Chains A and B, each alone.
Chain A
Amino acid sequence: MTAMKKIEENLRKEAKRLLEGGEVSVVLAYGRGYDENHPMPFAARTVEDVDSLVFNEYCTFNLARYLPKYPPKTKIAVAVKAADSRAVVQLIQEEKVRREDLVILGIPVTGMKDQKTGEVIDNKTTCNMANPVLYDILLGDEIHGFKGGSPYDVLAELEGMDHDARMAFWKKEFEKCIRCFACRKACPMCYCDPCFMDASRPRWADKSPTPDGHLMYHLTRFYHLAGRCIDCGECSRACPVDIPLYLFHKKLAKECEDMFQQAAGMKIEDKPAMVNYGNQDSDEMLK
C-alpha cells in the first residue's frame, strides 16, 4: 500500500471516529472532483460523508482557509499538510480559531503535484516542509531525512537583478492580473471581509482592473501578508494567469524572519510579528 493510500485510509478511519463520537461536527478534508487528478476541498458532516473522503498527491488545497468561516466554538477536525498546519498555527496566534476547538489531522507528505501542470511541488513555490508543525493525530508516518532545499533559493535570481529590471519584471507580471481575487480566496490568511480593496472609503485604488490599481492591490496585499504568510503557495496555484505571487511573499517572509527572528505559523505562543515589537529591534531594519 502506498503512503498516500495509507493516509487516505487513516483519514477516513479518524473522520468516522470523530464524527461518530460527536467530537467534531465537521471534518475538513478532501473529496473527489471531476476526476482522480482534481480532488476538491470537502467538508464531511456525517458518517456517510466519510466514504467520499480521498487523499492523493493532488490534494494541494490549504484547508485552513475555511476555518475562520465557521461560527466561533464550532468543533472542527481539519486535515493539514506541513504548510497548512503553519496556517492553522498562525490563525490560532491571531485568535481566529481556538486550539481547543480543533482536532488537527496531520499529514506528513512530500511530492504533492500541481493540478494544473502535474508537476511536483517543491521548494520553489512552497515552504517545502514535510511534517506538520502541530497536530493531534498523525495520518501517516513522520518523514525523516527529507531535504528539499531552502524555500528561499528561488529568490536568488530576482534578488540579483537591479531595481529597474525588477520593476520591469513585476510590471509585466502585474499587467496580467484580471483582478479575479483568486489569490485572496485561496489564501488561508486573507480572511478580511470586506477586503480593503472592496472599501469605497477610502478608495485605495481603481475598482476596475487598471495597472495602477493592480500595483496598489498586490503591494498592499503583500504587506498584509508580511510576517503571516506561511508559504503554502496556494495563491500562485490559484492564479489563472500564473503571476508568481509566491516570490514576493517568500521575499517578505525571508526578510521578516531576518528582522524579527520569527517565522510565521511555527509556534502558537508567538505573537503576530507585525502587531508586535521586540527589544532586539534596531534601526538596522530601516537601512
Chain B
Amino acid sequence: MDFEPKILGIACNWCTYTGADLAGTTRLKYPQNVRTVRVMCSSRINPSFIIRAFQLGADGVLVGGCHPGDCHYGTGNLYARRKLAVTKKILEFAGMEPKRFRVEWISASEGKKYAEVVEEFTNDVKALGPQTKFKIRKD
C-alpha cells in the first residue's frame, strides 16, 4: 500500500481555517492527510509545537496564516514569520528535511489555494517517506 503521510496542520482561525472551510463549501477535492489544529492566530504557534509535532510522529507540518499585512490582530503574523523562519532553520540544521515543514499565507477567500497547497505539500511529504528522525519510538 502507498505510504499515506500524517500531516499536522496548524491554521489561524481568521484566514487559513476559513479558507479551508471555503475549499469545502466549494467542494474542492484534495488529499486528506492534513489534520488541522485551529489556533486564533499564526503568532500563537510556539516553535516547540512544531518540534513536538515531529516527535509525535507527524511526517510533515503545515502552518497557515493570514497574508502579511492582513493579520486579524494587525501584526501577529509578522512576528510569526520571524519565529517560523527560525524554526525552519533549526529543523534544517538539526537534520530534518526542509520540505517537511511549510508555512503558507492563505486568506479566507483562497479556498483554491488551500487545496492546492495541501495537495502539493502532501505529495512532497509522500515523496520523502515516513519521518523517523524526531519521532519518539514507543517500545
Residues of A within 8 A of B (CB): 158, 163-171, 196, 204, 212, 215-216, 219-220, 222-223, 226-227, 248, 251-252, 255-256, 259-260, 273-277, 281, 283, 285-286
With both chains docked as a complex, state the minimum distance between the C-beta of A260 and any C-beta of chain B, in angstroms.
Answer: 7
**Contact pick for B48, options A223, A251, A255, A281, CB 8 Å:** A223
Contact (A259, B82) CB under 8 Å given A158-B93, A166-B93, A223-B90:
yes
Residues of chain B lying within 8 A (CB to CB) of residue A215:
51, 55, 94, 134
Is B92 on the interface with A (CB-CB < 8 A)?
A: yes
Residue from B52, B79, B85, B98 having most chain A Cβ neighbours under 10 A: B85
- In the complex the two chains form, is B82's CB within 8 Å of A248's CB? no
Complex: how many Å from CA A215 to CA B53?
13
Among residues 73 to 94 in chain B, which have CB atoms less than 8 Å away from a CB atom of chain A? Answer: 75, 78-79, 81-90, 92-94
Q: Tell me what chain A mostly uses at the interface: helix, strand, loop, or mixed.
A: helix
Nearest chain A CB to B74 CB, angstrom units: 11
CB contacts (< 8 Å) of B48 on chain A: these are 196, 204, 216, 219-220, 223
A-B contact count (CB 8 A): 93
CB closest residue in chain B, given A223? B47
In the complex, the chain A residue whose C-beta lies closest to that of B101 is A286
Which of B68, B92, B95 is in CB contact (< 8 Å) with A169?
B95
For residue B93, which residues in chain A have a CB less than 8 angstroms away from its CB? Answer: 158, 166, 248, 251-252
Chain B residues lying within 8 Å of A277, measured Cβ to Cβ, are: 75, 78-79, 81-82
Cβ–Cβ < 8 Å partners of A281 in chain B: 68, 78, 81-82
